[in-house]
Every structure is written in structure tokens, then in C-alpha cells.
Amino acid sequence: MPRIAYQLYCSRNFPPLDDTLRKLSELGYRDVEGFGGLLADADGLKSALEANDLAMPSCHFALDMLEKDAAGAIATAKALGIGKMIIPFLMPEHRPSDSAGWAAFGKRLTEAGKPVQDAGLVFGWHNHAFEFDATPEGDMPLDLIADASPDLMLELDLGWVRVAGHDPLAWIKKYAGRLTAVHVKDIAPDGTAVEEDGWADVGHGIQDWAAIHSALQQASVDHYVVEHDNPSDDMRFARRSLAAVQSF
């Protein structure tokens, strides 16, 4: 069974963090994944994790944070026991418009990741849907990023892959060996869960989890992160998603 983490971004609208961590621990989670907004109080976060017997093996870090102060970001990661530093997003106004631009961005990630890798940590990229919008030259930005940064690991978000109109199985197979983790994320049937932006609790949407889990196991992926971008009840999502993944 892979380690199952909860992306704390799911609970950003349900403060306080201490209550969230306590409830997750009571549900049976042992791992969580952090995001940049939580790192402002790293000492408080560390204490809260320890108080609830939770580990944070991975965390999302803003690229500019890492580029401006790599040593500080790495020190924060190590203090929190984070072994995987993942870059999660690129604002629309900063996204390249052609293949050369995406290849250059991949090289930028290579440079940003060097101090992370030199420190013995995993450095990765987390996708959304925009990495599957073909460039004018017909290339996929995700491929251009990966090709330009061969040591970069990927945290493949299986929900965004499907939203972008692609088969998660094909992308799992394509990047087997470079998947440090995956976001296990489900999609509601068309026209439903509108109040939750069309996302679903894991196992309660349209994703074929039996096939996906089999492909992930064949690719030796052992780190699943459950996520829902806008749950109306974060603990309902946490409970049902944990049960679903445990049943895979």
C-alpha cells in the first residue's frame, strides 16, 4: 500500500489548521502535503504536525521563493522533514507562448532545482491543465519541461490530466520512473457538483481508479496525495477519499 497523504490546500477555507490536523489524524491519516501559505510559521506548523503524529513528506513551494532564497527554503524543508520540494504553478501572465519558451522554462527549473538536489532532496513539478495546451508548433508544454530538465521529477495531477482531455493511464506510462508522487483527484459527472467546481471525492467520480491504481503500481509509484480543490465539507472529502484509496 502506498503512503496516502492529504493536501492541506483542500482545507484552506476551513480554519484553524490545528483542528484540521487533529481531525485528519483521527481519521487515520499519517501524512499530509503542505503548500506555500503554511510556511510563514514553520515552527508552529512543525509543532502542530508533531502534536498530531503527522508527517509532511512533500510540500509545494513557490518558484520565486526558491529562486530568491534557496538556502532558506531548503532549511525550512529540512526543519519540517520535507523530502520533496514541488513547484506547483505558473501564473497565466508568466506562461510561455511557444515551444522555445517552454523549453527555456524547463531549463529555469533545472537551475532552480540544483541546490535542492544537492541538498539530497527531491525536486519536482506539479501540473495543472495548461501544460497540455499544445504550443503553436504542436508540442506539449509538459513534455518540453520534462525534456529540458531531465533530472526533474513529476507530481502528476491525475484530475487535471483528465480535465485537459487526456487519459491518465497514458501519462502514467509515459513518465513511469519520473513520478515521485501523484495527486489522486476525482471528477464529478458533467453538470453535477457545480458548487464544488465539478470535483468529486476520490472514488465517487468518473475516474477509473482500478485501472489507474494498477498502472501506478506498475510504475512503482508509492506516494498518493488526495486532493479536492473546493470541497464544501473538507472532512467528508478526507474521510471518503481515504476509504476509497485504502480499498484500491
Q: Which amino acid is at 110?
A: T
3-state SS record for 121-144: CEEEEECCCHHHCCCCCCCCHHHH
Average pLDDT over residues 122-142: 98
Residue 13 has pLDDT above 90, yes or no: yes
pLDDT reported for residue 170: 98
Whether residue 7 contacts residue 182, with contact meaning beta carbons closer than 8 Å, is answered with no
Q: Which domain holds residue 202?
A: 3-247
Residue 87 has pLDDT above 90, yes or no: yes
- Using CA atoms, how far apart are residues 231 and 228, in angstroms rounded to an integer? 6
Average pLDDT over residues 216-245: 98
For residue 150, say if its preceding peptide bond is cis, omega within 30 degrees of 0: no
Single out the residue of 38, 98, 93, 87 nearest to residue 65, CA to CA: 87
pLDDT tens digits for 159-193?
999 999 999 999 999 999 999 999 999 999 998 99
DSSP letters of 175-207? TTTSEEEEEE-EEPPTT--GGGTTEE-TTSSS-
Quote the number of domains for the chain.
Answer: 1
pLDDT reported for residue 79: 97
Domain with residue 124: its CATH number is: 3.20.20.150
Whether residue 97 contacts residue 130, with contact meaning beta carbons closer than 8 Å, is answered with no
pLDDT reported for residue 213: 98
Residue 120 has pLDDT above 90, yes or no: yes
Q: Which amino acid is at 199?
A: W
The mean pLDDT of the chain is: 97
pLDDT reported for residue 238: 98
Hey, how many other C-beta atoms are within 10 angstroms of the C-beta on 58? Answer: 27
**Residue indicated by cell numbers 471525492:** 201
Residue 247 has pLDDT above 90, yes or no: yes
For residue 196, name the pLDDT band (cuts at 50, 70, 90). Answer: very high
- Using CA atoms, how far apart are residues 180 and 121, in angstroms rounded to an integer? 11
Residues in contact with 125: Cβ distance below 8 Å, sequence separation at least 6, in sequence order: 86, 87, 109, 145, 149, 152, 153, 154, 155
The rounded percent of the chain whose pLDDT value lies above 70 is 100
Q: Which amino acid is at 91?
A: M
Query: Nearest 5 degrees, angle CA 147-CA 110-CA 45?
Result: 120
C-alpha cell at 161: 490530466
For residue 1, name the pLDDT band (cuts at 50, 70, 90). Answer: confident
